[in-house]
Structure formats: C-alpha cells, structure tokens
Amino acid sequence: MIRSALRCTTDGENPGDIDMRKHRRLPGSLLLLHFTFLTLYLLISLPGSNVAVAENDPTIEMGISEYSKTDQDHAVPSRTGESDSNSTTDHATLKELAGPFFSGPEVTKACLECHNRAGEQFIKNKHWTWKYTHPVTKQKLGKSVLVNNFCTNARGNEGMCAQCHAGYGYKDDSFDFSNQENIDCLICHESTGSYYKTPNSSGNKACSIMFEGKKPIEWAKVAQSVRMPGRNNCGKCHFYGGGGDNVKHGDLSSALFMPDKNIDIHMDAGGLNFNCVTCHVGEGHEWAGSRYEMTVNDKVGTGKPGMPREVATCESCHDATPHDIASITGNKLNSHTSKVACETCHIPEIAKGGVATEVEWDWRTMGKLKDGEGFKLKEYTQGDGKHRATYKSIKGDFKYAENINPMYAWFDGAMNYTTIDTKFDPATGPVEINSFSGSADDPGSRIYPFKLMKTHQPYDKGNNTLVYMELWGDTDSALWGNYDFAKSIKAGMEKFNLPYSGEWGFVETHSYWPINHMVAPKDDALACNECHSSEGRLKHIDGVYMPATGKNRWLDIIGLLIILGTLAGVLGHAAIRGIAAKRRRS
C-alpha cells in the first residue's frame, strides 16, 4: 500500500481543474468550504510560501534535523552477547590502544603501527576513493561523480555526505587521498555503537542546530572495542543510503540490525546470525559484491575444496542445483536456475520488518516554509509505529511502500549510468539514472528482482543533462536553508567548470536497485502459480515460454496433450503388462 500526505500534481494537471457542474446543487456553505480548501491548497503548493499549520499538530516537526543522529543509536555487537572469540587478539588489552586519544587520526596511527599493510590496501578501496571504473562499460563511476535520484549528488556536498566516507576530513577536492592516517578504521570496526561522525564543514544558519548536544566520543573505549565488521558497522551507512532508513535499496534497512528469520533467514539474530562480511567475503580490504558490477551468472559456484570464494552470490554457497535432486519437484526447480535468479523466488517481498522504503520523490515542491522556517510533515506511519516524513522543506514530497513485490527483468549484471555529461531527450519519457542490460537470448542473463524508484528532479533544460546542486554549505547558494534552485544549480555546476545553460526545469527519472537481501525462509519462497498464471509476477517477461500464463494458448494445449499422452502411455503399458502376465498364469 502506498500512502502520501500531499498529492503533488503531475505535469498537465491543475489543482484548480474542478468540474463545477457537479457543485451547482451544493448549498452555499459547502461551496464556501470547497473554495476555502482550494485556496489553502494552492497556497501550500507554492515553493517558498509560508504555510500556516496548527501549533500542536503532532505531524509537524519544525526545523531541519536531517542526519542529526549519525550514530543511529545502534549499540549492537557483531555477535550479540558474545566476545569476538574467533579473533587472535583482544584489542582491549593492548597498551597501544590505552590512549589517551583526542581524534580519529590518532587512533588510526596506532592501528597502522601493528596493521602496517592495512593502509596501503585500503586506500585502493572504493569506500575510500569513491571512484570506480567499470571493466565492461568503461564508465567512470562512484559517489565522487555520479548523480542519483535521491539527494542527487555527493560531489560538492562532501561536507555533509562524507559522514559515510571511511575517512576523516573529506570536505572537498583538496582532500589528501594518499594520507593513510586520514583513514577511519573505527567506522568499520568499532563495536560499542557509540561512535558517530558529524559534517566536515559548516552548513548555513538553518542547519546549525543539527548536531548540537552530542556526547563526546570516548576514543580509547571505541578503539579497544574493534573487531571484524558487524551489521551495526555496515548498516550505519548502507541501511540509511539515500537520506534515511531504507530510503534507497528497499532490502537494506534498520530491520536488519536484529532481524528474525521472517525478515532475513541468513541474518536471523536467533539463528544463523550472518554478518555482512559472511557473504561479502574479502581479502586485503577488498570485498566481494558491488552494485556497479554484479555477478548474476556465477560460473564457479562453490568451487573446488580449498578454493577461495571471491563472489557474493547464492551459488557460491548453495551451488547451481540447490534443490533436492531425489524429488521430481527439486529437479524441476533446479532446471529454473539457468534462467531465473535465486533472489526472484526466494525474496518475494522487500521493505519488510515494519520499515518502509521510498518509492517516489518530488523535488518540485521543495521550499515551503512555516513562519520563515523549514519543517517536516510526518503523515506516514510505518509498520513498526514510527512516523516518516511525507514532506520536507529541503527535499519536497515523498511516497512510501512496505511489504512490496519487486519488479522483474532480464539482467546480465551490467548497469549503465546517466552521468553528469550524458545528454538525453526528456520528451521520450523518464530518464533512466541507471539502466541495465540482459535478454532471454543471453546465457549470462537471469530474470532478476529490482526496486524501482521514481523521482522528479532538476535538470539543465538548455543542455538536456542532469545537474549538480550545492545542497550543503554556509553560503547563500546552498539549497538546504536558502531554498533557491537557481542559485544552487548555478553554484554546483560552476564549482566543477561544467557547462550550464542557465535554464533549469524538472525531469522525471527512474532508477533500478537489484534485490539481494531479505531472503525468506524456504517455505515462504514463491509458489509455482505465482508466476505460472495469466496475471503472475512474470507476466511482463518476454523471450521465454512459461506454461499456464496464457501467452501461447496452443503451446499450452500441446504441452498438456503431451503430458496426458505420456500418462496414458504409461498406464496403457502397465495395463498391457498386467493382462499379459495374467494370461501366462492361466
């Protein structure tokens, strides 16, 4: 179910287009009520307008409090209630970590004295560089260059966005990526849950209160708590990508900090209790698995005994024939794996566990104020009882969904991105932020599940390209606090000497997020009839024959006749043998 507090008008719609013929017989009082409501609606829809709301309305939250809880209050150890028994070192006993420390780089310096190769390894990792060159498409990717259809661009806004950079002090292009002491070891390895990061630069006055009153970090305590990364480490950033809990992926949310088996059978805190690195295995500070380059067709599988597992795929543990080969059903299911990804059947729903995901974002309504101040409307209550903002002055309108079916498409693992210099024609339909390839004719493709995200966001109308915006900063062009698209876009493009026509507008964009997490127990996997029916989940999939979908009625009939003929032949053969045996005995 998708709910929204304020329904934004789409292109071509006008909130005033009301058929007054339906109102001619209404009493005058009702006509006055309709007129009053329409006037207020038009007023609240104007960017930069001041909105009058009830003083004690619980759905209203004044001010800008975005990302004020960077620690997210997740004091969840890697293995709940247990010590890191697999480690060969108890870091709490090391004199090198006794302190005192007064900053993160001081802790890192102590770490590198023992782990003397970790620095040179990590500075090559994309969690550090924020850069990646795709080996197939050759595109230059990474947070340092890409535009998305959530908060749009990290580039130029590192002062805020680099809270999820695994380093200290990254606020602009002057950052020294060769200085290993700027690596943040704690963000991935501390286990107290008390560690947090704040922006590397100042926001404007409207944002100044966002990080006040935080308890000082006890550097020695967090340094002595280090261990292999747990869900609490990875989740602080990856569960909150895109601007909030489960905003981006749909299958990565705070529900995975302590999930039960119904949310994810592998991460079940009372069962297998997998950490992220259980699947995302790595060596030398490089980990398997990437949204930029995915392994859809794992040709290695479990490999030979002793062979290192270098990919984060289902087949790397379960191999390509995971179902019971002693049963007819198991063999038939195994025959699907050459065309259907494991995730398609075993992740029937996403946004589970009471945490909704965003499915629509509309920047066009950004900038409405109350008494000159930004605010949030919290009119969506998700399954866990928490209220989510359906409107934010700094971002616009949102729509959410929970327990939703993914969309499905052929996918070969390669994503192609619309970058800042990619030209497009907005008249042809929504711009795909990250399109993907795959087909039924490609043996490397599988039918794969995705989350679809729809957004209306700014673009350069003259050049038909996406734009960088200056969102964060203590300037009069920073959007978050000044609410001026024209200034924000101009500053964001000029900062990197990018061509800008000076004319901006809004374009609809789509992005696609491959689904890999929130694996259901096997008894909750998709049943056959959920795909093999005329209105099944895969009704839009072309290029492959699926019985009982009604796409090819004559082929269905022929197949049914073959099955019935085979059954009749078996029964007939048995009957003839029985008759023959009876005659021999007589």
92 within domain boundaries: no
Mean of pLDDT values over 236-251? 95
Number of H helices and E strands in the chain, helices first, is 15, 17
Q: What are the backbone dihedrals phi and psi of residue 42, each rounded to the nearest 5 degrees, phi first?
A: -65, -35
Q: What is the pLDDT of residues 391-409, one digit of tens each?
A: 999 999 999 999 999 999 9
Structure tokens at 371: 């008494």
- Would 579 be classed as within a structural domain? yes
Among candidate residues 454, 474, 476, 480, the one with its CA nearest the CA of residue 392: 480
556 lies in a domain? yes
Q: Residue 584 sits in which domain range?
A: 552-586
The confidence score (pLDDT) of residue 424 equals 97
Q: Structure pTM? A: 0.84
Q: Say which DSSP state 216 is in.
A: P
Paired tokens of 173 = 């292009």
d(CA 234, CA 421): 31
Q: How many CB atoms lie within 10 A of CB 38?
A: 13
Quote the CA–CA distance of 84 and 161 in Å, as a whole number. Answer: 31
* Local structure of 98: helix, strand or coil: coil
Instruction: Evaluate if residue 38 carries a pLDDT over 50.
Output: no
Q: What's the token pair of residue 304? A: 């030979």
pLDDT (average), residues 488-507: 98
342 within a domain of the structure (yes/no): no
Instruction: Find out whether 337 and 375 touch, Cβ atoms under 8 Å.
Output: no
Confidence of residue 37 (pLDDT cuts 50, 70, 90): very low
* Residue scoring higher pLDDT (22 or 72): 72
Q: Rounded to the nearest 5 degrees, what angle is found at the Cα of 259, between the Cα atoms of 389 and 257?
A: 65
Model confidence band, residue 63 (pLDDT cutoffs 50, 70, 90):
confident
Q: Please return the burial class of 383, using the count of CB atoms within 10 Å of its CB with bins 0-12, 13-18 and 19+.
A: middle
- Is 206 a residue whose pLDDT tops 90? no
Here the tokens at position 571 are 């029964």
152-178 burial: b if 16+ Cβ within 10 Å, else e: bbbbbbbbbbbbbbbbbbbbeeebeee
| Strand duo 357-362 + 391-392: pairing | unpaired
In a domain, 406, yes or no: no
Round to whole Å and give the CA distance between 213 and 210: 9
| Backbone φ, ψ for residue 3 (5° rounding) | -125, 150
* CB contact set of 74 (below 8 Å; sequence gap of 6+): 193, 232, 235, 236, 254, 257
pLDDT of residue 18: 32
Residue of 78, 342, 407 whose CA lies nearest to 232? 78
**Which of 370, 491, 509, 361 has its CA nearest to residue 430?**
509
**pLDDT at position 22:** 36
Give me the amino acid identity at 427.
A
* Within a domain: 444: no
Share of the chain above pLDDT 90, in %: 65
Which residue has 């690195």 as its token pair?
277
DSSP string, 229-265: --HHHHHHHHTTTTTSTTSSSSS-SGGGSS--TTT-T
Q: Report how far residue 53's alpha carbon sits from residue 64's, in angstroms, rounded to the nearest whole number.
A: 17
By residue count, the chain amounts to 586
More confident residue, 361 or 297: 361
At 232, the amino acid letter reads N
Given this model, what pLDDT does residue 168 score?
A: 97
On whether residue 582 sits in a domain, the answer given is yes
Contact 256, 235 (CB under 8 A): yes
Bridge partner list, 140: 133
> 275-304: per-residue pLDDT in tens?
999 999 888 999 888 888 898 988 777 766
Q: With 60 as the cut, is the pLDDT of residue 77 above it?
A: no
Task: Name the domain count of the chain.
Answer: 1
Beta bridge partners of 183: 167
In a domain, 88, yes or no: no
